[in-house]
Amino acid sequence: MLAGQTKEKFLYILDILKKTDEQHPVNTVEILRKLENKGLVAERKSIARDISVLREAGYSIISCDELKKGFYMTDQPFEDYELKMLADAIAGAKFLTEQDTENLLEKLTQLATPTGEEILKEQTIIDPEIKTDNRTVRYNIDKIITAIKQRRRILFRYYERTEEGSLKFKRNGHIYEISPYYLVWSEDEYYLIGNSKSHDHLTHFHADMITNVEISELPVRPCSEIEELRGDFSICDYLRRNVNMFTGPDADIELMVGSSVIRDVVKRFGNGLQFEAMPDGMSKVSIHAVEGEGTLRWLCGFNVEELKVIGPESIRLAMAKRASAAAEAYSE
């Protein structure tokens, strides 16, 4: 066998072993057959030598107690449970089309052992109803990531929903010029966080509503010119404060919450919250959020027996106004 073929053989044997586990070993005869399928002919004795070399190179390759069963590898890049978590995240991603989801899962499955492959194929559920029909999202994301890396501005148009639920261009097809700083996953959606040249603070866009992305030759605005990016900045704190990506003034909001919604509050505002148990079985907690539409919508998602706003008075009044409007609307 030529030197080039010998190197190629090592790589193929390594690929073969990466698809094994304790329940699915591969023996010498099977390795030889798989090599032949690739156009490589090897001697039976050479396989044992090749595996010995791979072991010396640091790969954990185990010989089965029953030698006829062959060998298996124990140091695959991903454990089965890790691949399952990644697969579920891909399956649940609303910004991906159903076809893109299936393509990504197929690539992920190629990294799995036979056991992991069975788990991924049998246990990964794709709900087509939550998937987008916008096939350009992945290309837009690629361009946004490239622009962030190159620290260049991007140009794009932005969709919004009409009263009938269809898409139309926002601001009659206005071309946005944005300095992109972050592309983040929040609330089951991808968001572009950047700065519009028309003002000096951050703004947010749903990635799946962005279209016709072009990378500009202009550099992004320096962080020193952007209000939120001056000094210490935490993207995680920023996302927590801007509930549902609505902007507004910051506020410390005091809540009374029941045990059934404590998990929801922590999930939304982080693990650093301090809950004070009250005699009536409720807990008092203070959250730091934006006093705006997003926060009000979130607060309105709970029964008053589960969550009640103590202060500030401005938010209590806003909640009362919504409750009165709802009562009036449903009493007709």
Angle at which helices 80-91 and 114-123 cross, to 10°: 30
How does pLDDT run across 153-178, given as a tens digit for each residue?
999 999 988 877 788 999 999 999 99
Rounded to an integer, the average pLDDT of 271-294 is 88
pLDDT beyond 80 at 1: no
pLDDT for residue 238 is more than 90: no
CB neighbour list of residue 322: distance below 8 Å, 6 or more residues apart: 296, 300
Average pLDDT, stretch 123-135? Answer: 88
pLDDT at residue number 245: 58
Architecture of domain 245-331: 2-Layer Sandwich (3.30)
CATH 1.10.10 is held by the domain 3-73? yes
61 or 164, which is more confident: 61
Percent of the chain with pLDDT over 90: 39
- Asked if pLDDT for residue 240 goes beyond 90, the answer is no
Query: Is the model's pLDDT at 115 over the cut of 90?
Result: no
pLDDT digits (tens, 9 = 90+) for 11-57: 888 888 888 888 888 888 888 888 888 888 788 888 888 888 888 88
Residue 3 has pLDDT above 60, yes or no: no
Higher pLDDT, 51 or 101: 101
| Mean pLDDT, rounded, for 219-246 | 82
Q: What is the pLDDT of residue 90?
A: 92
Identify the residue with better confidence: 270 or 223.
Answer: 223
- Torsion of Cα atoms, 330 then 314 then 277 then 302, to 10°: 20
Q: Is it the case that residue 297 has pLDDT exceeding 60? A: yes
**pLDDT higher than threshold 50 for residue 2:** no
Tokens of 183: 């592309």
- pLDDT confidence of residue 67: 65
Contact 112, 62 (CB under 8 A): no
Verdict on whether the full-model pTM lies above 0.75: no
Give the span between the Cα atoms of 8 and 228, in whole angstroms: 53
pLDDT given at position 144: 95
Q: Residue range 205-213: average pLDDT? A: 90
Which tens digit of pLDDT belongs to each residue from 65-89? 776 788 888 877 888 889 999 999 9
Average pLDDT, the chain: 87
